[in-house]
Chain A
Amino acid sequence: MSVACRIGSGSSFGHHGEVLQGLISWDGARHRALVTMPCYRLRSTASFTPVPSAPLTVTCGKRSKAKRAAELTLRLLNVSDIGGGIEVASNIPWGAGMGSSTADVVATIGAVSDALDVQLGPAEVGRIAVAAEVASDPVMFGNQAVLFAQREGCILEYLGAPLPPVDLLSVEVGGAVSTLDLPLPQYTSAEVEAFRPLMGLLRRAVYAQDARLLGRVAMASARINQRFLPKPFFEDLAAINEETGGLGVQVAHSGSVVGLLYEAGDQRGCAIAKQLIRDRLGLSPAGVFMSRRPLEVVL
């Protein structure tokens, strides 16, 4: 099929791990699912320069999943005679559980479909992403909070709004992992039940845009996860967060970063915590991320 082609571009958010991740009972079955903590400053961008009858090439390190995503997208769009160059750039740390891989994949899918002048919806992007990389994060939904089955590529629940805004002091605690090399957590039946109230409070947190409630959910999910991929310094970081008026601690459940949560704009709490983490634990916090771009309304 011959198609109108131009240079296409796409981009995607990264995230700072999850607010909640576990095995969720939904409509009579159990699904591995998660809600991510978006970080709008973490981004992957991709461009695609289509060339008729050329092979697909990807520049930038080991982006094999991006190449596979591009191939799958072309196949889905019924295009067989086009290749070309894909360039991916990203500021998302690799292998820390911050969505670097999915963000590359989603940016690439966006670039390819843009080059072919096709608009794909987030649900379609999600399915291609899971096909390209087995398990994906729901970054294709932007900052809309969703409960996403990361291995099925489908949404279990739309929470109806973005998560309440928070500031997040990011700490790398070591032990980067590849998502696919980790054994899948085997949750007990009591743990599966435990995720229900977490989802209940998360719905209230989103509905009321209440960051305190969000912190409680993140903390509870992080604690359950300590049995599967324990984060070093977790209790120390939780204590520092509490001492400095924080809202709770959040983790990348299959990654290596911990986020100390604060009310949006609580620079003082973040600064004191940063110093305490250096003094007491000898760790260097990577910096403060915002889950959402602050609204700037000019009247």
Chain B
Amino acid sequence: MTIRNIYRSIIEAKELPQVVQLEDSLYGAAFGLMKLLPAHHMLDRAKEQKFLDQSTTVVESTSGTFGLALAMLCAIDKRPLVLVSDPAIDAAFRLRLEDLGATVDIVRKPEAVGGYQAARLARLREHQHRVSNHYWPRQYTNPDNVGAYSKVAEILVESLGEIDCLVGTVGSGGSVCGTSRFLRQLLPKLRVIGIDTPGSVLFGLPDAKRVLRGLGNSVHPTNLDHTAIDEVHWVDGATAFLATRLLHREAALFRGGTSGAAFLVARWWARRNPGAKTVVLLPDEGDRYLTTIYDDNWLEAEGLRRSKLPEAPVEASSLADVPANAWSRFDWRRRTFEAVTGQRYGSSELL
């Protein structure tokens, strides 16, 4: 018998995914706000190691959901939080962060070298000098980001037993590399599919403007372990947005664009491998995208409205073949970044 206990905070109640059957052998791990899990674990571990006392200010450079997760945690802890962001942050999201008590500091000018990312880090350093008692979680390099996903692996094997394939989007590397590392202790043959987007440098493409946000990166996080990845897909914005709408219309799952991209790839793989149990990580909900992905007029105006999903990805035999505006696939085969691209990984200072 299992007894239902209280949650000691909304963080505990919301940080773990619900596992939902989407098709015969396809299951979605649907998070309310995925970044709560690593943010919570990183702060807990920092407290354990005495990097964080009751009055420590948390500082971070982010314009995404990691910032929202930190803001929720710091509000409950009654702890000051400084989030450094850039003008791309959306107004409603900023209001929510500030209502949680976060100081949102917007840098107005990109640096000549390194753009907004560099400018944000320079500003972050200023805050660190100003506040002597501070803690910087650093989700791209902090191993406790990866370590947080033991709980996801626990839920997946507890509810599904053996799993054949894990599909997820890659941004910091935490969710896909963490979940798969913990799963593979038990299931060494697990196949892992990582999803990126054109314009992201994570798997060796040149840096460019990205339409689809919430995955991909313009820097190289050390938390991404390329040797965990069997296969990489790059999903473009327009395709991901249509898949997001399909997920909503057909499965009533109201999700963001990263979830759409992940669903598209996972469904394709699961249908080609019937009988293989496939799990797709669905990172966050759709509320932030009502006026964009869920608005046909916006899609039309941006030239991102599509009526039909491609049946299959473009097969890229080398990174040079990866198209900028379509869904494509590449056999990474658990190789290092250097082995595939011939370039060094993680040379960027911008972490």
User: Which residues of A does B touch, CB under 8 Å?
Assistant: 160, 189-190, 193-194, 196-201, 203-204, 208, 210, 212-213, 216-217, 220, 223-224
The CA of A220 and the CA of B158, in the complex, are separated in Å by: 15
Q: Does B186 contact A (CB under 8 A)?
A: yes
Contact present for A196 and B150 (CB under 8 Å)? yes
Task: List 19 A-B pairs, Cβ < 8 Å.
Answer: A189-B45, A190-B147, A196-B150, A196-B153, A196-B154, A197-B182, A197-B185, A197-B186, A198-B185, A200-B154, A200-B156, A201-B157, A201-B161, A203-B158, A210-B161, A212-B162, A213-B161, A217-B186, A220-B186
Please give, as numbers and ranges, the residues of chain A lying within 8 Å of B45 by CB-CB distance: 189
Chain A min CB distance to B283 (Å): 20
Contact present for A198 and B151 (CB under 8 Å)? no
The answer to whether A216 and B153 touch (CB under 8 A), given A193-B182, A204-B159, is no
Secondary structure at the B interface, as helix, strand, loop or mixed, is helix
The CA of A24 and the CA of B150, in the complex, are separated in Å by: 12
Q: A197-B157, A200-B157, A216-B187 are in contact. List 17 more A-B contacts (CB 8 A).
A: A189-B45, A189-B144, A193-B147, A193-B182, A194-B150, A194-B182, A196-B153, A197-B150, A197-B186, A198-B185, A200-B155, A200-B156, A201-B186, A204-B158, A210-B161, A213-B162, A224-B185
Q: Does B1 contact A (CB under 8 A)?
A: yes
CB-nearest residue of chain A to B2: A160
Q: Does B264 contact A (CB under 8 A)?
A: no
Contact present for A190 and B143 (CB under 8 Å)? yes
Q: Does B193 contact A (CB under 8 A)?
A: no
Please give, as numbers and ranges, the residues of chain B lying within 8 Å of A160 by CB-CB distance: 1
Please give, as numbers and ranges, the residues of chain B lying within 8 Å of A210 by CB-CB distance: 161
Q: Does B183 contact A (CB under 8 A)?
A: yes
The CA of A189 and the CA of B146, in the complex, are separated in Å by: 12
Query: Closest 8 interchain pairs by CB?
Result: A200-B154, A200-B158, A193-B150, A197-B153, A201-B157, A196-B154, A196-B150, A200-B157
Please give, as numbers and ranges, the residues of chain A lying within 8 Å of B155 by CB-CB distance: 200
The answer to whether A198 and B147 touch (CB under 8 A), given A160-B1, A204-B159, A213-B162, is no
The CA of A206 and the CA of B151, in the complex, are separated in Å by: 19
Q: Quick one: CB contact mask for B144-183 with A, threshold 8 Å, 1 for yes?
A: 1001101101111111111000000000000000000011
Please give, as numbers and ranges, the residues of chain B lying within 8 Å of A204 by CB-CB distance: 157-161
Chain A min CB distance to B28 (Å): 18
Please give, as numbers and ranges, the residues of chain A lying within 8 Å of B143 by CB-CB distance: 190
CB-nearest residue of chain B to A223: B185
The CA of A102 and the CA of B219, in the complex, are separated in Å by: 56
The CA of A187 and the CA of B7, in the complex, are separated in Å by: 28
Please give, as numbers and ranges, the residues of chain B lying within 8 Å of A203 by CB-CB distance: 158
Please give, as numbers and ranges, the residues of chain B lying within 8 Å of A216 by CB-CB distance: 162, 186-187
CB-nearest residue of chain A to B8: A28
The CA of A210 and the CA of B157, in the complex, are separated in Å by: 13
Tell me the B112-164 residues at the A interface (CB within 8 Å): 143-144, 147-148, 150-151, 153-162
Contact present for A201 and B158 (CB under 8 Å)? yes
Contact present for A208 and B154 (CB under 8 Å)? no
The CA of A212 and the CA of B187, in the complex, are separated in Å by: 11
Chain A min CB distance to B16 (Å): 11
The CA of A203 and the CA of B20, in the complex, are separated in Å by: 19
The CA of A210 and the CA of B158, in the complex, are separated in Å by: 12
Chain B min CB distance to A17 (Å): 19
Chain B min CB distance to A84 (Å): 41
Contact present for A220 and B185 (CB under 8 Å)? yes
Chain B min CB distance to A108 (Å): 32
Please give, as numbers and ranges, the residues of chain B lying within 8 Å of A223 by CB-CB distance: 185
Q: Please indicate which of the listed interface residues B1, B154, B162 has the most CB atoms of chain A within 10 Å of its own CB.
A: B154
Contact present for B185 and A194 (CB under 8 Å)? yes
CB-nearest residue of chain B to A204: B161
CB-nearest residue of chain A to B148: A193
Contact present for B185 and A196 (CB under 8 Å)? no
The CA of A200 and the CA of B186, in the complex, are separated in Å by: 11
Q: Quick one: CB contact mask for B185-208 with A, threshold 8 Å, 1 for yes?
A: 111000000000000000000000
Contact present for B1 and A198 (CB under 8 Å)? no
CB-nearest residue of chain B to A208: B161
Contact present for A198 and B186 (CB under 8 Å)? yes
Q: Quick one: CB contact mask for B28-65 with A, threshold 8 Å, 1 for yes?
A: 00000000000000000100000000000000000000
The CA of A212 and the CA of B154, in the complex, are separated in Å by: 17
The CA of A277 and the CA of B153, in the complex, are separated in Å by: 34
Chain A min CB distance to B349 (Å): 27
CB-nearest residue of chain A to B41: A193
The CA of A293 and the CA of B283, in the complex, are separated in Å by: 46
Please give, as numbers and ranges, the residues of chain B lying within 8 Å of A194 by CB-CB distance: 150, 182, 185
The CA of A193 and the CA of B187, in the complex, are separated in Å by: 16
Contact present for B162 and A200 (CB under 8 Å)? no
The CA of A139 and the CA of B161, in the complex, are separated in Å by: 27
Q: Please indicate which of the listed interface residues A190, A197, A216, A217 has the most CB atoms of chain B within 10 Å of its own CB.
A: A197
Please give, as numbers and ranges, the residues of chain B lying within 8 Å of A213 by CB-CB distance: 161-162
CB-nearest residue of chain B to A217: B186
The CA of A201 and the CA of B187, in the complex, are separated in Å by: 10
Please give, as numbers and ranges, the residues of chain A lying within 8 Å of B1 by CB-CB distance: 160
Please give, as numbers and ranges, the residues of chain A lying within 8 Å of B150 by CB-CB distance: 193-194, 196-197
Chain A min CB distance to B132 (Å): 27
CB-nearest residue of chain B to A216: B186
The CA of A213 and the CA of B157, in the complex, are separated in Å by: 10
Q: Quick one: CB contact mask for B1-14 with A, threshold 8 Å, 1 for yes?
A: 10000000000000
Chain B min CB distance to A256 (Å): 24
Q: Please indicate which of the listed interface residues B144, B155, B157 has the most CB atoms of chain A within 10 Å of its own CB.
A: B157
